[in-house]
């Protein structure tokens, strides 16, 4: 990373179970031998190029981006529930600012 002057390196290790109920078939979300190199600006702006952006909007119209609700569970359970809603969308904004390397690791 230092040779290529890359500021950040992220290692992703996400898995999911593709098997039926009670069966194990663990799959990787990301290829274990691939890498994605992206340019991301330090100062996001509408006229600033970047490989992708995460857009967030105010879904309730009250100026808040996260709607939270909190309520008690059933009597005697000593439980409390917190629920959060957020409106975000990840979008690729430029093909020229990212490249995927397959079987490189």
In the chain, how many domains are there?
A: 1
**pLDDT the model gives residue 96:** 95
Q: Is residue 70 in a domain?
A: yes
Q: Is residue 9 in a domain?
A: no
Residue numbers of the domain that contains 63: 15-101
pTM for this prediction: 0.57
Note the pLDDT tens digit of each residue in 12-54: 777 777 888 888 787 776 777 888 899 999 899 989 999 999 9
Q: Which two tokens stand for residue 84?
A: 């959060």
Q: Is residue 36 in a domain?
A: yes
Provide DSSP, 40-99. --SS--TTS--SEEEEE--SSSSS-SEEEEEEE-STTS--EEEEEEE-EEEEE--GGGEE
Quick check: 59 pLDDT over 80?
no
Q: Is residue 8 in a domain?
A: no
**pLDDT the model gives residue 51:** 95
Q: Is residue 10 in a domain?
A: no
Q: Is residue 64 in a domain?
A: yes
**pLDDT the model gives residue 25:** 80
For residue 54, give every residue at least 6 positions away whose Cβ sits within 8 Å of its Cβ, in sequence order, or none. 88, 89, 90, 91
How confident is residue 92, by pLDDT bands cut at 50, 70 and 90? very high
């Amino acid at each position: 990373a230092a040779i290529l002057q890359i500021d950040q390196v992220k290692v992703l290790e996400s898995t999911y179970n593709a098997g039926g109920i009670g069966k194990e078939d663990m799959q990787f979300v990301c290829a274990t031998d691939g890498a994605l190199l992206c340019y991301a600006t330090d100062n996001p702006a509408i006229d600033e190029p970047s490989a992708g952006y995460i857009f967030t909007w105010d879904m309730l119209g009250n100026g808040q981006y996260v709607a939270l609700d909190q309520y008690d569970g059933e009597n005697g359970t000593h439980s409390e529930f917190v629920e959060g809603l957020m409106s975000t969308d990840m979008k690729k904004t430029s093909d020229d600012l990212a490249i995927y390397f397959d079987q490189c690791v």
